[in-house]
């Protein structure tokens, strides 16, 4: 059984979808949610789903080892970034090499990097008159959106699309694929017992 932690900064609809997917599943246990945002709706979702949620600040993540220590003491095997907008620090990257995945709401390597999250990504895609967008699930390294790509899926961008309508299409792909991609990685890995 692999213990999973999810990091989220906002609504947490992906976090909820992943939790629901794995509930009752013997291979994975979603043990903790972490958020940097005390106003994030993911906190409410965690409460409703009975998952412990830890709110942290920059110091907890980057200065002290507080978050790192919580991960280790809870025997977390695998980390999922689901709408998390801060960079993961080196100590966590090193301890969890190829055991942290992120979902990005566009087809990386395009439309990634610092500051590219949520509707900002969809607005840039529409402003550039792209015909396609989609999702990218990738391993996480020290740089924003640059780790090895694991999976991508596409959707079309229509002429009349707004950032909101494109976000809906992208979210649909995220809900469809993210949990099963995580499950496949866990099945192919050495770190579950």
Comparing CB distances to ligand GAR, the nearer of 66 and 163 is 163
CA dist., res. 82 & res. 15, Å (int): 6
Q: Is 104 a catalytic residue?
A: yes
Among positions 154-183, residues that touch ligand GAR (CB under 6 A) are: 170-171, 174
- Work out whether the CA dihedral 124, 127, 130, 133 comes out positive or negative: positive
Comparing CB distances to ligand GAR, the nearer of 64 and 146 is 146
Q: Phi and psi of 121, rounded to 5°?
A: -65, -45
Active-site entry in 104, 122, 138, 171 = 104
With contacts defined by CB under 6 A, name the span among 10-18, 63-71, 125-133, 146-154 that binds ligand GAR. 10-18
The reply to whether 104 sits near ligand GAR by the rule CB under 6 A is: yes
Comparing CB distances to ligand GAR, the nearer of 148 and 193 is 148
Name 167's bridge partners. Answer: none
The reply to whether 103 sits near ligand GAR by the rule CB under 6 A is: yes
Q: Phi and psi of 69, rounded to 5°?
A: -65, -35
Give whole-number Cα distances, 186 to 26, 133, 151, 182, in Å: 12, 27, 14, 6
- Least Cβ distance, residue 5 to ligand GAR (angstroms): 15
**Contact residue for ligand GAR among 4, 5, 6, 14 (CB under 6 A):** 14
Q: Phi and psi of 162, rounded to 5°?
A: -105, 165
- Least Cβ distance, residue 6 to ligand GAR (angstroms): 10
Instruction: Report which residue's Cβ sits closest to ligand GAR.
Output: 83
The reply to whether 105 sits near ligand GAR by the rule CB under 6 A is: yes
The reply to whether 10 sits near ligand GAR by the rule CB under 6 A is: yes
- Active-site residue list: 104
Q: Which residues bind ligand GAR (CB under 6 A)?
A: 8, 10-14, 82-83, 103-105, 116-118, 121, 170-171, 174
């Amino acid at each position: 059984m692999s213990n999973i932690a999810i990091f989220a900064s906002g609504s947490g609809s992906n976090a909820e979808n992943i939790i629901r997917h794995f509930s009752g599943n013997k291979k994975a246990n979603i043990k903790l949610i972490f958020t940097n945002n005390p106003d994030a709706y993911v906190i409410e979702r965690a409460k409703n789903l009975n998952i412990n949620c830890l709110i942290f600040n920059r110091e907890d993540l980057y200065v002290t080892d507080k978050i790192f220590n919580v991960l280790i003491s809870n025997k977390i095997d695998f980390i999922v970034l689901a709408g998390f907008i801060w960079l993961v620090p080196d100590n966590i990257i090193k301890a969890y090499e190829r055991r942290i995945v992120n979902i990005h709401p566009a087809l990386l390597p395009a439309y990634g990097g610092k500051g590219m999250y949520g509707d900002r990504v969809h607005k840039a895609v529409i402003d550039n008159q792209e015909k396609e967008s989609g999702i990218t699930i990738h391993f996480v390294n020290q740089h924003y959106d640059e780790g090895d790509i694991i999976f991508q899926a596409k959707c079309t961008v229509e002429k009349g699309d707004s950032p909101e309508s494109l976000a809906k299409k992208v979210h649909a792909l995220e809900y469809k694929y993210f949990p099963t991609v995580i499950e496949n990685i866990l099945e192919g890995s050495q770190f579950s017992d």
